[in-house]
């Protein structure tokens, strides 16, 4: 890799020299200036230079490739020029809609089509008799259509791999490999990911020679209007704690996150047994089941949803007022993604974590990322504030503020004479001043 590329400052969309219809679309979307990921990725994609963009969800990454791809499309060519892959049907559909909103402003037709699993494959083959300029979809369906010779991508110049780490986690990276292997050798590949796991690197190395690497650090790791709440499990069953929490919160819509599909089913079943109508979202749901579940969630048939991290990154659920971590994710970046499901579009939200003593290291790491936790518990069906779990450590730290050498030299005598406090304060100040001079000399 060519190394890190720092965010570029003071850019406007006009500086990229895009086609007029794109500016029309930007104006319709009320975008005022490019986000950091857009500032860095748009010029690279316009030039066709392969690049890796690492940024969190909600940073504007979709339009960082939508705009330059549309700008590069040659409407006179009747073949696929760009392929965009996403790990979930829902995300692929959202990306398709983002392309359509800009493409419709073009006087010359730019054809954008999306192809996802769980739909009629024969219909997809029929639609591909006239190849689109841009193909968007889930990797499995696109790879199958290429394999069946329903479409050719050997002239496509651009491949987008969105949410690459999630793609890897869900086992779809081999399908992306199948797609890329049928594309030109001089391919502009653009990979977007919140994290770059070690297991992803062999794939990147295979198709990307010395790519640009853009890493955008978020200004805040978590939205300012999210309350991060810690609930100790103590000796209680976690299911009972989560059940009490949900009743106490009385949410508009709550998502309970687990780390595995099996645990998601277990938690959803037990909450249902306790009388809460609970939906579930994870990768083992059949396409028809998931489509039905998403419709029921959007129709507010469920107020409680148990999900794996698929819902934190790959699916957009509107109106989430509360997020509950049944267990903390092993990759703490996913804590941020989970919390980000609530407090969207300026609303406020709560992200509560039911924790065990074994979670202390993870909680400490999150606090180092500027996550500020408040502490609470459920008592008699209501949320109450409890003491800071770190109060003892903080008290010990406060006691150690005075330099140990100073404290040793000025320890309190057994018999206190009049004016002792004033005299001791002056003595401490004198010794501290001397110690600062010694420390300053040692640094030199």
pLDDT by 10s per residue, the chain, length 444: 554 444 444 579 999 999 999 999 999 999 999 999 999 999 999 999 999 999 876 678 999 999 999 999 999 999 999 999 999 888 899 899 999 999 999 999 999 999 998 889 999 999 999 999 999 999 999 999 999 999 999 999 999 999 998 888 788 999 999 999 999 988 999 999 888 888 899 999 999 988 999 998 765 556 668 999 999 999 999 999 999 999 999 999 999 999 999 999 999 999 999 999 999 998 788 777 887 888 898 888 999 999 998 776 767 788 899 999 999 998 887 898 889 888 876 678 999 999 999 999 999 999 998 899 999 999 999 999 998 887 655 555 554 554 554 444 444 454 545 665 566 666 667 666 776 776 666 555
Residues with Cβ within 8 Å of residue 341, at least 6 apart in sequence: 255, 311, 312, 317, 320, 323
Which residues partner with 377 through β-bridges? 384
Burial status of residue 178 (CB atoms within 10 A of its CB: 0-12, 13-18, 19 or more): middle
The DSSP annotation for 351-406 comes to: EEEEE-GGGHHHHHHHHHTT--EEEEEEETTEEEE---TTHHHHHHHHHT-S-HHH
3-state SS, residue 132: coil
Residues 87, 314 contacting (CB under 8 angstroms): yes
226-393 shares the fold of 4-215: yes
Domain 226-393, what fold?
A: Rossmann fold (3.40.50)
Statement: the pTM of the whole predicted model exceeds 0.85: no
Q: How far apart are CA 111 and CA 82, in angstroms?
A: 11
Residues 410, 428 contacting (CB under 8 angstroms): yes
Q: Which two tokens stand for residue 81?
A: 């020029």
Per-residue pLDDT at 223:
62
Per-residue pLDDT at 283:
76
Per-residue pLDDT at 409:
44
**Domain residue ranges of the chain, discontinuous segments joined by +:** 4-215, 226-393, 402-443
Burial status of residue 418 (CB atoms within 10 A of its CB: 0-12, 13-18, 19 or more): exposed
Neighbouring CB atoms inside 10 A of 22's CB total 20
Per-residue pLDDT at 387:
87
Per-residue pLDDT at 438:
67
CATH architecture of the domain with residue range 4-215: 3-Layer(aba) Sandwich (3.40)
Q: How far apart are CA 100 and CA 112, in angstroms?
A: 7
Extract long-range pairs of 329-336: CB within 8 Å, 24+ residues apart: 329/257, 329/259, 330/259, 331/195, 332/362, 332/365, 332/366, 332/369, 333/56, 333/194, 333/195, 334/309, 335/366, 335/371, 336/56, 336/221, 336/222, 336/369
Which residues partner with 136 through β-bridges? 84, 114
Cα 433 to chain centroid distance, Å, stands at 48
- The order of strands in the sheet holding 112-115 is 4-5, 212-215, 51-54, 188-193, 158-161, 82-85, 134-137, 112-115
Per-residue pLDDT at 192:
94
């Amino acid at each position: 890799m060519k190394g890190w590329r720092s965010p570029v400052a003071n850019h406007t969309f006009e500086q990229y020299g895009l086609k007029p219809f794109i500016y029309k679309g930007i104006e319709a979307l009320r975008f005022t200036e490019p986000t950091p990921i857009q500032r860095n990725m748009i010029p690279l994609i316009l030039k066709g230079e392969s690049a890796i963009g690492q940024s969190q969800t909600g940073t504007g990454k979709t339009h960082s490739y939508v705009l330059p791809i549309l700008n590069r499309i040659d409407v006179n060519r009747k073949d696929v020029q760009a392929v965009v892959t996403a790990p979930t049907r829902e995300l692929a559909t959202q990306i398709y809609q983002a392309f359509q909103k800009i493409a419709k402003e073009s006087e010359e037709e730019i054809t954008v089509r999306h192809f996802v699993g769980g739909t009629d494959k024969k219909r997809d083959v029929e639609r591909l008799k006239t190849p689109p300029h841009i193909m968007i979809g889930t990797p499995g369906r696109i790879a199958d259509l290429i394999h069946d010779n329903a479409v050719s991508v050997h002239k496509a110049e651009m491949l987008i791999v969105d949410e690459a780490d999630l793609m890897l986690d869900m086992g779809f990276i081999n399908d992306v490999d199948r797609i890329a292997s049928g594309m030109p050798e001089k391919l502009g590949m653009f990979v977007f990911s919140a994290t770059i796991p070690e297991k992803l690197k062999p794939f990147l190395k295979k198709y990307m020679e010395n790519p640009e690497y853009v890493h955008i650090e978020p200004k805040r790791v978590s939205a300012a209007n999210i309350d991060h709440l810690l609930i100790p499990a103590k000796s209680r069953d976690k299911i009972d704690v989560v059940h009490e929490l949900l009743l106490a919160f009385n949410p508009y819509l709550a998502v309970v996150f687990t780390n595995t599909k099996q645990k998601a089913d277990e938690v959803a079943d037990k909450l249902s047994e306790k009388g809460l109508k609970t939906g579930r979202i994870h990768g083992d749901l059949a396409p028809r089941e998931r489509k039905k579940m998403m419709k029921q969630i959007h129709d507010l048939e469920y107020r409680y949803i148990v999900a794996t991290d698929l819902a934190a990154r790959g699916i957009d659920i509107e109106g989430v007022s509360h997020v509950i971590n049944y267990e903390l994710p092993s990759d703490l970046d996913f804590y941020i993604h989970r919390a980000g499901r609530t407090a969207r579009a300026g609303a406020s939200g709560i992200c509560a974590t039911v924790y065990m003593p074994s979670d202390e290291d993870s909680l400490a790491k999150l606090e180092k990322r500027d996550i500020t936790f408040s502490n609470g518990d459920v008592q008699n069906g209501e949320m109450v504030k409890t003491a800071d779990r770190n109060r003892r450590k903080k008290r010990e730290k406060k006691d150690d503020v005075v330099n140990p050498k100073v404290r040793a030299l000025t320890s309190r005598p057994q018999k206190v004479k009049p004016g002792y406090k004033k005299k001791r304060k002056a003595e401490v100040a004198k010794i501290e001043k001397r110690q600062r001079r010694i420390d300053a000399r040692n640094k030199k």
